[in-house]
Amino acid sequence: MILTVTANPSQDRTVALDGPLERGAVHRVASVISQAGGKGVNISRACAAAGVPTEAVVPAPPEDPFVLELRAAGVKVRPVAVSVPPRVNLTITEPDGTTTKLNSPGPEASPALLDALSEAVRRRAARATWIVLAGSLPPGAPAAWYADLVADLAASPARVAVDTSDAPLAALVAGLGRAAPALMKPNAEELASFTGTDAGLLEDDPEAAAKAARTLVDAGVGTVLATLGGRGAVLVDRTGAWHATPPPTTVVSTVGAGDSSLFGHLLGDLQQQSPSSRLALAVAYGSAAAGLPGTTIPLPTQVRPDLVTVRSLSTTLGG
């Protein structure tokens, strides 16, 4: 079972334009999609679509439309009761696939709410194979909340994956000596933020990205899946490093593509696939998601790992 934790979930509204976005102009809207989202929520939705058991821990009113939508999609939701609904995030997509995101901060999180979220995770940890801590933290949450939860779960049989950014990512990296997750999934910008490298260089040069990711493995992280946008992704663990190139994709919306990539890797792990095969499945899921509107999660029949090209990289442990 994959247990997901989304501390700052969102109702994702995607506005698709019929032409390029022009600041100050009046635009015609081709379509509007509203979907329950947030990184962990997206992974639980991918689980449900693939028939993988999942539970999603979220702060939300138990009968909120957000929760009801997820349940209708087959996701087992464990809402930690709050009095306000999740935030609303707005995404604007252009015909060429360019994506503009307007993310709201979300409601303030009290210490009591954060304690309740942590306790909900700890109570369910023994039943999980993977625990995914994903997304931003709400206002009021300490930056080290994920790092502290990783340490709290160290004795659990479940493996922990983390996908976050900004201050929570910096705190997680700073705390790797105390407790390191089994998996981290940064993108090029996030990887650059704590390695002192240039995000554009990492996205363009898989060898450089793998070398940067190797610093996390050297610090105790089990596996690093670094997504590189249209250049695919690299996977680094203690046995080697690999780069996967996606098949040609007509990009519709990149929102949620990284979440789908992370799920693809987790699915490959559950299927006991090799690292290179897990990477191929991750990139296939991510490219399939990029070809769908909004935060739509691809079905397994839409995912083509056989069209992904994987090669070994020369990056070595300590290199």
Of the candidates 294, 309, 167, which has an alpha carbon nearest to the alpha carbon of residue 233? 309
Bridge partners (DSSP) listed for residue 236:
224, 241
Identify whether the C-beta of residue 283 lies closer than 8 Å to the C-beta of residue 264. Answer: yes
Residues in the chain: 319
Q: Which listed residue (12, 163, 205, 259) is catalytic?
A: 259
Identify whether the C-beta of residue 15 lies closer than 8 Å to the C-beta of residue 91. Answer: yes
Q: How would you classify the pairing of strands 309-312 and 240-245? A: antiparallel
Q: Is 306 a catalytic residue?
A: no
DSSP secondary-structure letter at 109? P
End-to-end distance of the chain based on CA atoms, in angstroms? 35
d(CA 271, CA 243): 20
Of the candidates 58, 73, 61, which has an alpha carbon nearest to the alpha carbon of residue 121? 58
Encoding tokens for residue 294? 């909004």
CA distances from 109 to 60, 117, 141, 149, 245 (A): 11, 10, 6, 16, 40
**Angle, alpha carbons 299-302-304 (nearest 5°):** 125
d(CA 242, CA 113): 40
Catalytic residue set: 259
